[in-house]
Chains A and B, each alone.
Chain A
Amino acid sequence: MTGTDIEAVIIKELRKFANDTTEVSPDTNIVRDLNLPSLDVMELVMSLEDDLDISIPLDRIADIETVQELAELVRTLSTKADV
C-alpha cells in the first residue's frame, strides 16, 4: 500500500469522527483541527488496525499530530509486520 492509499484510508475513517463540513487533508492536525477527544483517537486507531490488518501500539500515537504523520507511522508498522 502506498502512502497516498494509507492517507485515503485514514481520511475515510476520520470523517466518521469529524464534523461533516470539516475538510480533512494530509496536513490536518488530528487533535487540534478536528477537536478529536482522546477516546475517539483510540477508536480511530482500532478501526485503522482492522482496515489495514496491522497493530498500532497506543504509545506510538502520542507524538502524532497530522494525518500525514499517522500515515507514515502506519507505513512503517506495515513494513515491519511484513518482514
Chain B
Amino acid sequence: MGIMDKFKDLGTAYDDVKSAGRDPFSVRFDEILSPTEGVIDGKKTILLGTNNYLGLTFDKRSVEQAVSVLRESGTGTTGSRIANGSYGWHQRLENDLAEFFGRRHAMMFTTGYQANLGIIATLAGRDDHLVIDADSHACIYDACKLTSAQVTRFKHNDPVDLGKRLSRLKSQGGNIIVVTEGIFSMLGDKAPLREIAAVTKKFGAYLVVDEAHSMGVLGVNGRGLAEEQGVEDQVDFILGTFSKSLGAIGGFCVSNIDDFDLLRVACRPYMFTASLPASVVASVVTSLEKVQKGQFLREKLMGNAKRLYDGLQSAGFHVGPDVSPVVAVQLPSPEMAVAYWNALLDEGLYVNLALPPATPMGQALLRSSVSAVHTHQQIDKAISLITKVSRDFGAIIPERITSVG
C-alpha cells in the first residue's frame, strides 16, 4: 500500500467537487481591490466570504504603520521568541491586548489556530478533563489530539447537557476545562455563554472561550461574546485571532490566572515556531485601537448582517439560528451547494463553500461573512444573486429548502 493510498476516498470526493467547475479550495484572486471587492478570472467580484468583519485590511494607518516597521525591522524574525528573543512590538501588542481585555496577562501566537491548539492542549494535563462543545472548530479538536488529558464532548450550545457530563466527571479528580466559542464559524450561532459559564462554575471548572469570530464584533467595546453577555469575570481564558476583525494574522490568549507566563515555556506551539514579523504586529497594534473605538463600525456591521440575514430568510432560504456576521444558507445536498457556489462566482459573488465533515449535522452550506464596509448595494446585490441562481436551478421551493437542517 502506497503512502498516499489512504487519501484515495478523499481524492475521489475532491475530484467530484472539482468536476462541477472550479476548485473551491484553491481560488485565486487576480487582485484584491478593497476589503469587499476583488478580481477573479478577470471579473470584478464582491467578497462575501473573507471574515473581514470591520474591513480593516486596507486601513490606511495600519498599512502605513506596517510599511514603516517593515523598513525598520525587516521582513521576518527568523525564529521563535524563546530562541531569537522578542521585538518591542511583540511586547507592546501583548500589553495592549491585556489592557483591551482588562486582564493581567496576554500571550500572542503566530496564528489563531496555534493559539487554540497550544493553550488548550497545554492547560489540560494528564489527569485533567477537557470538555468541548461538539461543534468546536478543527483547531480545538486538534488540541484534543495533542493533549494528554481525557476528552469529552457536550451537545452543541446545550448547558443542560454540559452539566450532565460535568457531573459524571466530578468524582474523577483532576481539573476540568470547558471549551466553547463566541460565534461558531459555520452557522454564525452564538454560545449561550451566561448559562454555560454558570454550569461551568457550579462544577468548579475552568472556562475557555474562543472569540475568533466575535472579538471586534460583539460587545459595546468589541471584547466579544463574554462582554456582550456580561460574564467576562467567569471566563478564565479568552482565545482569539488577529486574522478576522483585526485584518492581519496571528492569535492570542488573555487571562488573569496566576503564573500565566509559565505557559511561555510549556506551550510547544508557542515555543517551537517562528514569531510574527514586527510589521504585522505593528499593524495589529493600530487596528486594535480601531477595534476599541469601533462602536460605529460594529453598528454598521450588525446592520449589514441583519440586512443579509433577513433578505435571505425572506427569499425563502434557511439560515442559521442567530443574526450575526456569519450568515450561512443551508442547501439540500453538497452537489447543490457546489453548483450554487460555482454559479455565484460566475455572477461575481464570492462566498465560502462549506461541506461535511467540516459542517455541523452534515449540512451543505454557502457561508457568507459580512463586513462593516459592505455597502447596502453590495448586500442587496448578493441577496438578488443568490436568489437568481436559486431560480436558475429551479430550486427556490421554500418548503424544500427550509426542510433541510
Binding site for B on A (CB under 8 A): 37-39, 42, 45-46, 49-50, 53-60, 80-81
Interface contact A58-B144, CB-CB below 8 Å: yes
Interface contact B150-A59, CB-CB below 8 Å: yes
Q: Verify if B152 is at the interface (C-beta below 8 Å from A).
A: yes
Give Cα distance in the complex from A57 to B362, angstroms.
23
Contacts known (A39-B357, A55-B169, A81-B171); A46 close to B150, Cβ less than 8 A: no
**List of A residues within 8 angstroms of B169 by Cβ:** 55
Interface contact A55-B172, CB-CB below 8 Å: yes
**List of A residues within 8 angstroms of B165 by Cβ:** 49, 55
**List of A residues within 8 angstroms of B164 by Cβ:** 50
Give Cα distance in the complex from A56 to B129, angstroms.
11
Give the shortest distance, in Å, between B256 (CB) and chain A (any CB): 29
Interface contact A57-B168, CB-CB below 8 Å: no
**List of A residues within 8 angstroms of B150 by Cβ:** 55, 57-60
* Per-residue contact bits, chain B 135-156, to A (CB 8 Å; 1 contact, 0 not): 0000000001000001111010
Give Cα distance in the complex from A49 to B134, angstroms.
14
How many B residues have CB within 8 A of the partner chain?
A: 16
A-B contact pairs, 27 of them (CB 8 A): A37-B357, A38-B357, A39-B357, A39-B362, A42-B153, A46-B134, A46-B153, A49-B168, A50-B164, A53-B168, A55-B129, A55-B165, A55-B168, A55-B169, A56-B152, A57-B129, A57-B150, A57-B152, A58-B150, A58-B151, A58-B152, A58-B153, A59-B144, A59-B150, A60-B150, A81-B171, A81-B172
Contacts known (A39-B357, A46-B134, A81-B171); A55 close to B153, Cβ less than 8 A: no
Give Cα distance in the complex from A37 to B362, angstroms.
11
**List of A residues within 8 angstroms of B171 by Cβ:** 81
**List of A residues within 8 angstroms of B151 by Cβ:** 57-59
Which 10 A-B pairs have CB atoms at the shortest separation, nearest pair first? A57-B150, A58-B151, A55-B168, A39-B357, A55-B169, A55-B152, A57-B151, A59-B151, A46-B153, A59-B150
Give Cα distance in the complex from A38 to B150, angstroms.
17
Give Cα distance in the complex from A33 to B172, angstroms.
34
Residue of A nearest to B171 (CB): A81
Give Cα distance in the complex from A13 to B169, angstroms.
23
Give the shortest distance, in Å, between A76 (CB) and chain B (any CB): 13
**List of B residues within 8 angstroms of A58 by Cβ:** 144, 150-153
**List of B residues within 8 angstroms of A49 by Cβ:** 152, 165, 168
**List of B residues within 8 angstroms of A55 by Cβ:** 129, 150, 152, 165, 168-169, 172
Give Cα distance in the complex from A38 to B356, angstroms.
12
Give Cα distance in the complex from A49 to B161, angstroms.
11
Residue of B nearest to A57 (CB): B150
- Interface core residue of B155, B164, B168, B362 (most chain A CB under 10 Å): B168
Given A53-B168, A59-B144, A59-B150: 12 more A-B contacts, CB < 8 Å: A38-B357, A42-B134, A46-B134, A46-B153, A54-B168, A55-B150, A55-B169, A56-B152, A57-B129, A57-B151, A58-B150, A58-B153
* Per-residue contact bits, chain B 161-186, to A (CB 8 Å; 1 contact, 0 not): 00011001101100000000000000
Give Cα distance in the complex from A38 to B152, angstroms.
15
**List of A residues within 8 angstroms of B357 by Cβ:** 37-39
**List of A residues within 8 angstroms of B153 by Cβ:** 42, 45-46, 58
Give Cα distance in the complex from A45 to B132, angstroms.
14
Give Cα distance in the complex from A49 to B169, angstroms.
12
Residue of A nearest to B154 (CB): A46
Interface contact A46-B168, CB-CB below 8 Å: no
**List of B residues within 8 angstroms of A39 by Cβ:** 357, 362
**List of A residues within 8 angstroms of B152 by Cβ:** 49, 55-58
**List of B residues within 8 angstroms of A37 by Cβ:** 357
**List of B residues within 8 angstroms of A54 by Cβ:** 168
